[in-house]
Amino acid sequence: MKTNYLFSIIMLFLLLGCNTKNTQQNSDNDTLNLIKDTVHTNRVKKIFYNVPSPIEMSTVIQRSGAVFRNDILCPYKNVEKYTSLSKQAIMLGVYGANLSYVRLFEQIQLAINYLSSIKKLCDAIDIPQEQGSLAIQRMEKNIENKDSLLQIISETYAATDSYLKDNGRGNTATLVILGGWIESLFIATQIADYNNPSNKEIIDRIGEQKFSLNNMIELIKAYPDDKELQLYLPSLLDLKKLYEEVNIEYIKGEVKTDANKKLTTIYSVAKVEIKKETFEKIKTLAKQIRTNIIKY
Amino acid sequence: MKTNILILLWLFVSFNAYNQCKGFTKKECVPQIKPFTYNGQLNMAVLNPGDVAELIVTFYKGQDYRLFVCAQENLGKIEFKLLDSERNTIFYNKEHDMVNYWDFHSNATQQLIVQVRVPPLEEEVAVAPSGCVSILVGFKE
């Protein structure tokens, strides 16, 4: 009888846990948008949020004609100074963003150095050889091939995310994503010259982070008990307030689908308006958050 | 007692399904995103017939993307849609032989919703099948 009672209590907790999550997800869904599609939205069981990887963010830097700046990078030599698991995870994201940046400028020696720091962090976080370090060994062999480098950065990033989520460490995976996203925003804001017309695309990309910031916040909110993640939430919410000053006017365009190519092109236009004052405020706050993140 | 055994069985089946899901996604799904570069974020869930999952994702201006929906065969053909932020349908695979991947090019950076649905069962069964569904995003530089 006593065993049954205990069993029932455990089951109640398990079921309540599951229900809480589903309620949250349904509520998120309700706030998403107006529900037009009743067939698909009848039973939303799970909502995922993705944040663009540092590789995606860095492509715009390449097109802007920006020159390489070593001074904005987070020193790879500091890797040993990060001893807590949460700092190591967030720095894995930071160094990943630095690696994506140095790759663009074909800074081979720097790429090797960042690679070495990433390898140390992977080991410290217990990402097994076949998941992380093995990919890094491959990277050392292919370091001079920019495309292979891209593939290997992506694979390492994916293997880390997958390994951590597989092992019930989604919070640690979120720290990696946060580190990568903030460092990418920091690099972009440091490189961009608001008054230089050729930097318009980077400025726009910084403004467009309004979307990614919302996704980042939702990812963090999924782990309300993770003290480290929650520590960064207030400053991200401050950043969100600043981003409210960024206006993105979206003009819906034609959608064309080429069935033979299995390709759909969306001919919409988005006009990003970001005032210099807002840009400077975002730049300052991104730097503050990043300084806090890389602090050991 | 019988109820307890059933609940334990249900828990075992759920955990087993999740473990299978992990292996399935890595082995069967991730390699298929090539030649696009996988964005590295694993979006997978164990779903039942009739369940819907959504992925909120940002497409950057001028970049090419591949959406790949990967599911275990026992779930049947998975429907997937790409919706804009006002939930207007941009793409629906039901109009394209229930294809499991499609490529996209957006002329503007925008927040989009990928919606997947496991087909509901046509008739009542004692134990509804559950299986792994993954939504993967790839991009090209």
Q: Cα separation of A92 and A87, whole Å?
A: 8
Q: What angle do CA A219, A225, A229 make, to 5 degrees?
A: 50
Domain spans, chain B: 2-140
- Distance in Å, alpha carbon of A219 to nearest chain B alpha carbon: 11
Q: Per-residue pLDDT for B124 more than 80? A: no
CATH number belonging to domain B2-140: 2.60.120.380
Q: What angle do CA B22, B26, B30 make, to 5 degrees?
A: 135
Assess: ipTM above 0.90: no
At B100, list the tokens.
């499991």
**In B, which residues are within 8 Å of A154 by CB distance?**
37-40
Distances (CA, A) of A182 to A80, A135, B59: 21, 24, 18
Q: Give the range of the structural domain holding residue A156, as residue numbers without chain letter.
A: 54-244+277-294
Q: Number of structural domains, chain A? A: 1
Cα dihedral sign for A210, A212, A213, A219?
A: positive
Task: Report pLDDT for A39.
Answer: 47
Residue A100 falls inside a structural domain: yes
Residue A126 falls inside a structural domain: yes
Which residue of chain A has the CA closest to B135? A48
Task: Report pLDDT for A231.
Answer: 95
Residue A79 falls inside a structural domain: yes
| A181 and A212 Cβ atoms separated by less than 8 Å | yes
Residue A117 falls inside a structural domain: yes
Which residue of chain A has the CA closest to B57? A50
Interface check for A78 against chain B (CB to CB < 8 A): the answer is: no
**Mean pLDDT to the nearest integer, B105-115:** 95
**Mean pLDDT to the nearest integer, B58-85:** 94
pLDDT band at residue A291 using 50, 70 and 90 as cut-offs: very high
Portion of chain A with pLDDT greater than 90, in percent: 57
Contact map slice: B 34-73 vs A, CB within 8 A: 37-43, 45, 47-48, 50-61, 63
Nearest Cβ partner for A215 among B37, B58, B141: B58
Residue A257 falls inside a structural domain: no
Q: Can the peptide bond before residue B129 be classed as cis, meaning omega within 30 degrees of 0?
A: no
The predicted model scores a pTM of 0.83
Tens digit of each residue's pLDDT (9 = 90 or more) over B42-60: 898 999 999 999 999 999 9
The CA-to-CA distance between both ends of chain B, in Å, stands at: 58
pLDDT band at residue A7 using 50, 70 and 90 as cut-offs: very low
Partners of residue B64 on adjacent β-strands:
B105, B140
Interface check for A148 against chain B (CB to CB < 8 A): the answer is: no
Q: Per-residue pLDDT for B141 more than 90? A: no
Interface check for B110 against chain A (CB to CB < 8 A): the answer is: yes
Tens digit of each residue's pLDDT (9 = 90 or more) over B76-109: 999 999 999 999 999 999 999 999 999 999 999 9
Portion of chain A with pLDDT greater than 70, in percent: 80
